[in-house]
Chain A
Amino acid sequence: MADPSTCLLELRGICKSFGGIQALRGVDFTLHEGEIHVLLGENGAGKSTLIKIIGGVHQPDAGEIRIGNVPVRIPNVRAAERLGIRIIHQELVLAPNLSIAENLFLGREPCRFGFLDRGRMFRDAERLKTELDLPEIGDVRTPVGQLSVARQQLVEIARALTGALRILVLDEPTASLSEAETEALFAKLRRLRSQGVGIIYISHRLEDIERIAERITVLRDGRSIGTQRAGNLDVPQLMTWIAGREVKDRYPRPVYQPGEVILSVRNLQAPGVHNVSFDVREGEVLGFAGLVGAGRTELARALVGLSPIYGGEVLLNGRPLRLRSPGDARRAGIVLVPEDRKREGLILTQTVGFNLALPWTRLWARGIVPNYTRRTAIIRNAIRNFSIHPGNPNQSVASLSGGNQQKVVVAKWMEQPPRVLILDEPTRGVDVGAREDMFTIIGQLVTQRMAVLLISSDLPEVMNLSHRLALYRDGRIVQEGPAANFTPEAVMMELTGAASKGKMAQ
């Protein structure tokens, strides 16, 4: 391992504001050679701005950047690349219409006399694949849009690893990865570390941090609050730093007082769903654990009428349902809080109030003159009951933090609560405080006799919040039972064992 005392990157007093909003107010940060340094902080704490400054996307208003003890300016992305800085962004930034090879060399395509040298590009991509030991990427001529999210992530990683690499920044890389894929990523990071690469790793997941970090720095409100060594980690203090207040139990399991069976699914056949059967009771959380791509979202889509049902039955209170549209599902009392809230859960260009009132137009917009009193009441209730912050109904929903956006997506259904609520990855990209709020909300809904189907790829989360657990693989439930009967190891065995078999089959 490289000498950890060698300082690779040093940031001093970095400030940055956008149109009067101060995003960074003096951040200090150091990264050593051969170190994995985790950067923690809520959404809006300034992490993304900071890494964009390191990557040459933004310029700091004040402060100093030193690389290997030499002051540098990083005026653009190319300059950052020349300094050996690579960034893997939180949202996948690949061109879906281009092939893997074309994406790998995007912006630095091999050329000859100004003409693109595709032959060389494909050969180099193949070589790179072997060198980086990423055979699972597949044929380099495949368009990226046809790959699973996890494989796209591998392409991003491969792209970051081309050329001379000194500093690697990963922004929440495991958000969409399954456990096995996360472990594979960590193995790669450890190998890079042993080659002397300095790694900045941004994550919300404590599990990640405990596994790979050497040091942890917390950002809050654009300032660096403190740094801890992983050797003597003080989790409660870390949480206090992040939230600016004390944080309680990590997973408060909702009270379990199951009532009647409310939703029964019998031999359901739908796109990506093969012969799925289960029951869920009032006041029960049924967790769906599985790898990314196991087909849980497909099940959710079928249950709310977003994809056609080929066979089997869905019964509500014993009565069979016809689910041909989300309208059918909603009238029956089944609603979905989708995985991608920005695209499917919210009208981002509109206000908080607009989004909250949208499902209830039949209550407040009957006849010719809308009943604005009613509308205001609906919005106020939602904001109050779900402590949406800031609570201004006229504020653009896009300006809210991820956690509060998620609250809006849940709250908008609750004027007349549904019978069955499906939550698809409800805590993805949500900060620690809002995550806790989300857990509390699930607890409240359960005490109101609602049935919750919780889909989550975060294993500790789904195991601790659910009353019963269904292990999901390849569009099927492979095992089901009370959550207390499962150990994390057993669940992992079931899911990752299936994963390696699945990969070989491909």
Chain B
Amino acid sequence: MRNAEHGNRTSKGTLALSGWRQLIATLVSAAQGLLPLLLAIAVLLVLFSLWVPQGRFLRFDNLIDLAQQVSVNAILAFGLTLVILIGGIDLSVGAVVAVAGVVSVSLLTPAGPVVAFLGGIGIGALFGLFNGLFAARTLMPPFIITLATMLVARGFALGFNESRPLPVGEEQHLFLSLGNARWWGWLPMPVILMLVVFVFSTILLHGTRFGQHLFAIGGNREAARLAGIAIATHEVLVYVFCGACAGLAGMIHASQLYSAEPAAGQGYELSAIAAVVLGGTSFSGGVGSVPGTLVGAIIIGILDKGLNQAGVHFSLQYIVKGGVILAAVWYDVFRRRVKSRQA
């Protein structure tokens, strides 16, 4: 419900303007915190443009390709940002990617693309609802809850078609366009979907009362409770959102592969968590931003693609990525400590 008491007092025009201005100011100040990460992106781009043979890395089509590869991870990470911000965690998103793919693809032929799409989102949201209800209504730690639902979801995906992939029929143009269409011949559909989710979750977290309450819950649950915020409702909705994001990501993934793989999405939760953490969201809750997560996802994407194209052995790629994450989070913790000491 909107607060009528606050809405009626001043003239509407200036109010809206100042509200948007403030939202932008908030995002700008968040962006300032991201400056080191943006700098890191620039350094990585320069590095790989020199390292990858024939300057292939900075070519337009290569970068578009990069954006496309980042999309699925970024969508998962946006949902996870909200979960981690309230002090939770969702390990099930990778397995939900597989379930959503399997469910939506199997609905395609009997029920058509719209139902299939809603089914994919719906099954993700359903797993999120399950996680959220357990997290909000019991004392079980979300780590354990979602570890369990991860296994359940994976089993569900594997059992659906006896562990065999479900191919997407050539005639399913609408579904295949989810992962493969290019707008105006160059902008991939996954990138557009990713940007839609990005804008939605940015406004949700940074521009609404709901988002404000998430910051409060993550910062001090007791304070939020005593301020009359319905914590359980917020918590459930956050997990539902995260699950729905995983559902969307699963369908994009299946569409890209022309097939729903029951084993898809293994370890995706870890890449998504890495993106969230790289983007400056604190695991203890209450600190973080959606734009930060986008930057985090981009850095991971650049590392993946760049190291690959530079011909680095895959074993070394893991080590480099692990080192980068460790260094980035270490720096973040260090910076925060310096800041709090100055205060």
Would you call A117 and B6 a contact (CB within 8 A)? yes
Would you call B219 and A95 a contact (CB within 8 A)? yes
A58-78, CB under 8 A of B: which get 1 and which 0? Answer: 000000000000000000111
Would you call B15 and A112 a contact (CB within 8 A)? yes
Roughly how many angstroms separate A287 CA and B237 CA in the complex, as a whole number?
Answer: 53
**Which residues in A have their C-beta under 8 angstroms from that of B225?**
77
Chain B residue nearest to A93 in the complex (CB): B223
Give chain B interface residues in 137-165, CB to chain A under 8 Å: none
A81 lies within 8 A of chain B by Cβ:
yes
Give chain A interface residues in 195-250, CB to chain B under 8 Å: none
Chain A nearest CB from B279 CB (Å) reads 16
Roughly how many angstroms separate A392 CA and B287 CA in the complex, as a whole number?
Answer: 42
Which residue of A91, A96, A111, A120 has the most chain B CB atoms within 10 A of its CB atom? A111
Would you call A117 and B226 a contact (CB within 8 A)? no
Would you call B209 and A114 a contact (CB within 8 A)? yes
Give chain A interface residues in 64-107, CB to chain B under 8 Å: 76-78, 81, 87, 89, 91, 93-98, 102-103, 106-107
Chain A nearest CB from B30 CB (Å) reads 13
Would you call A120 and B220 a contact (CB within 8 A)? no
User: What is the interface of chain A mostly: helix, strand, loop, or mixed?
Assistant: loop
Chain A nearest CB from B328 CB (Å) reads 20
**Which residues in A have their C-beta under 8 angstroms from that of B209?**
109, 111, 114, 116
Chain A nearest CB from B69 CB (Å) reads 33
A481 lies within 8 A of chain B by Cβ:
no
Would you call B19 and A78 a contact (CB within 8 A)? no
Would you call B208 and A106 a contact (CB within 8 A)? no
Chain A nearest CB from B111 CB (Å) reads 33
Which residue of A55, A95, A109, A112 has the most chain B CB atoms within 10 A of its CB atom? A95
| Count of chain A residues with a beta carbon within 8 Å of a chain B beta carbon | 35
Chain A nearest CB from B26 CB (Å) reads 7
Would you call B203 and A115 a contact (CB within 8 A)? yes
B5-18, CB under 8 A of A: which get 1 and which 0? Answer: 01100101001101
A119 lies within 8 A of chain B by Cβ:
yes
B340 lies within 8 A of chain A by Cβ:
yes
Question: Are A77 and B340 CB-contacts (below 8 A) given A97-B215, A97-B218, A112-B19?
Answer: no
| Count of chain B residues with a beta carbon within 8 Å of a chain A beta carbon | 39
Chain A residue nearest to B207 in the complex (CB): A115
B167 lies within 8 A of chain A by Cβ:
no
Roughly how many angstroms separate A89 CA and B203 CA in the complex, as a whole number?
Answer: 33
Name the contact of B216 in the complex, choosing from A77, A95, A117 (C-beta under 8 A).
A95
B62 lies within 8 A of chain A by Cβ:
no
**Which residues in A have their C-beta under 8 angstroms from that of B94?**
none
Would you call B6 and A102 a contact (CB within 8 A)? no
B315 lies within 8 A of chain A by Cβ:
no
B61 lies within 8 A of chain A by Cβ:
no
Roughly how many angstroms separate A118 CA and B222 CA in the complex, as a whole number?
Answer: 23
Q: A97-B215, A98-B212, A103-B223 are in contact. List 15 more A-B contacts (CB 8 A).
A: A77-B228, A93-B222, A96-B286, A97-B218, A97-B286, A98-B286, A102-B212, A106-B224, A107-B227, A108-B3, A109-B209, A111-B3, A112-B16, A112-B19, A116-B207
Chain B residues proximal to chain A, CB less than 8 Å: 2-3, 6-7, 10, 12, 15-16, 18-19, 21-23, 25-26, 203, 207-209, 211-213, 215-216, 218-220, 222-229, 286-287, 340, 343
Chain A residues proximal to chain B, CB less than 8 Å: 55, 57, 76-78, 81, 87, 89, 91, 93-98, 102-103, 106-120, 122, 145-146
23 pairs, CB–CB < 8 Å, chain A vs chain B: A77-B226, A77-B228, A94-B223, A97-B215, A106-B212, A106-B216, A107-B216, A108-B227, A110-B6, A110-B7, A111-B208, A111-B209, A112-B2, A112-B6, A112-B19, A114-B208, A115-B203, A115-B207, A115-B208, A116-B209, A118-B22, A120-B6, A120-B15
